[in-house]
Structure 1
Amino acid sequence: MSERSYLVTGASGYIGGRLVPELLDAGHRVRCMARSARRLRDHPWASRVEVVEADATDPDATRRALEGVAVAYYLIHAIGGGSGFAETDRRAARTFAAAARDAGVRRLVYLGGMNPDQELSPHLRSRAEVGEIMLDSGVPVTWLRAAVIIGSGSASFEMLRHLTERLPVMVTPRWGHTRIQPIAIRDVLHYLVASAALPGEVSRGFDIGGPDVLTYEEMMRRYAAVAGLRRRLIVPVPVLSPWLSSLWVGAITPVPGGLARPLVESLRNEVVCAENDIAAYVPPPPEGATGFDRSVALALRRVRETDVATRWSSASTPGAPSDPLPTDPDWAGGSLYTDERTRRAHAPPERLWEVVEGIGGERGWYSFPLAWRARGVIDRLVGGVGLRRGRRDPRRLRAGEAVDFWRVEEIEPGRLLRLRAEMRLPGLAWLELRVDGDDGDDARARLTQRALFHPRGLAGHAYWWAFRPFHEVVFGGMSRGIARAAEQDTVTAGHRASAARREG
């Protein structure tokens, strides 16, 4: 364990929120600086760090936050912060750099954008200016310069994700031909952690990037291929200003317009590594530099593997830096449509669970039988399994077995059943049924039913909204039917018990 702390600013942001657990795993004591400690309390690592409240533009508060700190990570940016963002960035950087010098910080580590030898967009220019302020601080600095970062939750990646998934045919202005050297989030974190140990005489900037140099159009095509989407038709247009482009991106994707504009403006700059000097001080990641296709596959991992619903339905700690965090913004992580319903039953939890575990097969799905049969027929017509598989046992289920056109993905006896759809769909779907006691009343139980759908491409979004009007009939009827069946079974069991007592 380090004797002095490692301070992370911007810990509530995309990079900082993933850097903190990496530093903790490396054995460092971590302190997080935030304007409000409440913004960090929902992070899975919150109980393992020290949190200090300070605004980077407040000299006294910042100096107190930096006391006893060996290495300070400066990950503060005012992107999307309005017309005065550049001055805000300057003031915060100068205040922080001076406070770090006064506190005796051994090294500053700053992550910014690349600054190629050309006219920069306002936000790239501001990033470069912050880097220069850090270098002039009198404290040894590692200034890492990266282009597009690939990982679930990265604003640049989410823009790429949503544009590619939602538009099978798209027009791209000249920035679609801009050459970019993207880098995986796991590789960025590798360099950030290792940079803290650079020799004291090293104080400079380093370009970092992945092994592939691609145009934005090529990135969209390769994303589509990795995500299993049809080949995208991209039509270049000679003019489309950054302002109009940002409006277009804002209309097509959930990325906020205030964030989309600086991202689009920055795409006019070619961002390719001019040097690889970092290799003289930091070895490459253990598995080697991560290529673009693998970076995308890692970012999409949670929507392609069978544990996706586990990750999204719980607030568990992500297993890798590329995974979504519970604290990522609402527009991050791709689309996940949810239909959730709660129903109380006048039946004990064990009786309700018996109905849940017996679902499908001859007992059916407790709502609109004709619709379920029709869906099964349609699935068979398009090459799917339909409803013909039924189920192995009418009363008991186990993980991995089939139930009509579903597969048991997870089962916790008496509590949870999660089914993954194996019907032909333009996306991935799950049905989750959870049974709980009703506030200590042994004679009542609560059913929580969730249908989840992750669309693939525009067809997936259209599929969800086309069937959305029928959800009340299908899913609402299912929750009502399951609760009603449990209540009827409870009454029947009560009658049988009464009859047995009379006969006895």
Structure 2
Amino acid sequence: MTELRAGIIVGAGSAAFEVMRDMVYNLPVLTPPRWVRSRTTPIALENLLHYLVALLDHPASEHRIFEAAGPEVLSYQQQFEHFMAVSGKRRWLIPIPLPTRWISVWFLNVITSVPPTTARALIQGLKHDLLADDTALRALIPQRLIAFDDAVRSTLKEEEKLVNSSDWGYDAQAFARWRPEYGYFAKQAGFTVKTSASLAALWQVVNQIGGKERYFFGNILWQTRALMDRAIGHKLAKGRPEREYLQTGDAVDSWKVIVVEPEKQLTLLFGMKAPGLGRLCFSLEDKGDYRTIDVRAFWHPHGMPGLFYWLLMIPAHLFIFRGMAKQIARLAEQSTD
């Protein structure tokens, strides 16, 4: 078995990179915890992947450990400074002495889209210098190591394609609305309900959204949100197709249907005015003795306004999605009976 170890990875989805990215894009003044002074040897994801693939051509009969490193030794603070220079975002950077890693995790959870468990692991790893010795690995697999600035530039370009994926139904409108400043990891809120209803019954009810039942729960809140848009001059479409089952491309009020997987998932693209890009997913799953219906919103915030909007809406989202999931299950159970 061969084990490959790396510290900071510069690439789309890397926790360290996305924390840095979100802080630079979301905050006018950066006040990161004291662990930004730790030094590392950041490596480009492209270089790391090359090592992983090439190691397949160098099998070993015993356990080996290799360390992978980039061409530069940089503190996390220096990486912030390089990132700001490459992205063109000028920010004040003032490290503050947060006393514990738990406060640091809370801090990152509020201002970045990186999942808390991932942020916790990142902070734990950055408590000390992580200076990899890649001498043995480079002797075995020579390659040109990409400089930190070039890796950042390449990653930011690659992340522009994030929304062109199955999660968004490869939807052209979603792709056109995506901005580089949007968070890579989506903020999310939702609720899951167990039910005895069949998948067919659940799917039939879910497809009624925007019709007689409107949004199944909290319709006055949905109406209030629509009125807020109209108050600032944003015209919203109304209505939905008359047919029983929705199809990709259909409009449900201001929402657009972007994913339809019968008896599995229905996804709607958020169409109201807000700082970010979002989608609402209805996911069904057969667990054998019971089924589940999950109603969940995914939100990629645009800077600090997008974060504030999400935090402001969280209580309403949790309340509404809980009610929606329960009402969908209730209606499906009634039709099953």
TM-score over 0.5 (shorter chain) = yes
For residue 354 of structure 1, what is the aligned residue in structure 2?
204
**SS of equivalent residue, structure 1 residue 366:** coil
CA shift in 2, pair 1:463/1:420, >3 Å: same
Q: CA deviation at 1:185?
A: 1.0
> What is the identity, as a one-letter code, of the residue corresponding to 2:46?
R
Summarize the alignment of residues 151-300 of structure 1 with structure 2, pairs less than 5 Å apart.
151-152=11-12, 154-164=14-24, 167-171=27-31, 183-194=43-54, 208-209=70-71, 215-221=78-84, 233-236=91-94, 249-250=104-105, 252-253=107-108, 254=116, 260=123, 263=126, 266=129, 282=142, 291-298=151-158
CA shift in 2, pair 1:261/1:451, >3 Å: closer
CA shift in 2, pair 1:244/1:367, >3 Å: closer
- Kindly indicate whether the alpha-carbon contact (under 8 Å) linking 2:257 and 2:267 is maintained by their aligned counterparts in 1: yes
Aligned match of 2:309 in 437, 451, 463?
463
Deviations 1:466-501 (A, max 9, x none): 23333454223322333344455567xxxxxxxxxx
> What is the identity, as a one-letter code, of the residue corresponding to 1:403?
V
- Kindly indicate whether the alpha-carbon contact (under 8 Å) linking 1:175 and 1:216 is maintained by their aligned counterparts in 2: no
- Root-mean-square deviation (CA), in Å? 4.9
For residue 294 of structure 2, what is the aligned residue in structure 1?
449
Unaligned runs of 5+ in 1: 1-6, 10-74, 76-110, 114-147, 199-204, 226-230, 272-277, 311-332, 492-504
**SS of equivalent residue, structure 1 residue 432:** strand
User: Identity across aligned pairs (percent)?
Assistant: 28
Q: Which has the larger radius of gyration?
A: 1
**SS of equivalent residue, structure 1 residue 339:** strand
**SS of equivalent residue, structure 2 residue 323:** helix
For residue 2 of structure 2, what is the aligned residue in structure 1?
8
Aligned match of 2:216 in 366, 379, 382?
366
1:479 aligns with 2:337: no
Distance in 1 (alpha carbons) for counterparts of 2:190 and 2:119 = 24
Q: CA deviation at 1:365?
A: 0.9
For residue 259 of structure 2, what is the aligned residue in structure 1?
410
Q: CA deviation at 1:342?
A: 0.9
Distance in 2 (alpha carbons) for counterparts of 1:224 and 1:170 = 15
**SS of equivalent residue, structure 2 residue 153:** helix
**SS of equivalent residue, structure 2 residue 299:** strand
Deviations 1:175-230 (A, max 9, x none): 989999854212222145447879xxxxxx997449xxx943444436877xxxxx
- Kindly indicate whether the alpha-carbon contact (under 8 Å) linking 2:284 and 2:291 is maintained by their aligned counterparts in 1: yes
Distance in 1 (alpha carbons) for counterparts of 2:318 and 2:102 = 35
Deviations 1:72-110 (A, max 9, x none): xxx3xxxxxxxxxxxxxxxxxxxxxxxxxxxxxxxxxxx
CA shift in 2, pair 1:370/1:434, >3 Å: same
Q: CA deviation at 1:370?
A: 1.7
- Kindly indicate whether the alpha-carbon contact (under 8 Å) linking 1:383 and 1:424 is maintained by their aligned counterparts in 2: no
- Kindly indicate whether the alpha-carbon contact (under 8 Å) linking 1:170 and 1:234 is maintained by their aligned counterparts in 2: yes
**SS of equivalent residue, structure 2 residue 278:** strand
Q: Which has the higher contact order (CA 8 A, sep 6+)?
A: 2
**SS of equivalent residue, structure 1 residue 463:** helix
TM-score normalized with structure 1 length: 0.46
Distance in 1 (alpha carbons) for counterparts of 2:86 and 2:46 = 18
**SS of equivalent residue, structure 1 residue 408:** strand
- Kindly indicate whether the alpha-carbon contact (under 8 Å) linking 1:418 and 1:433 is maintained by their aligned counterparts in 2: yes
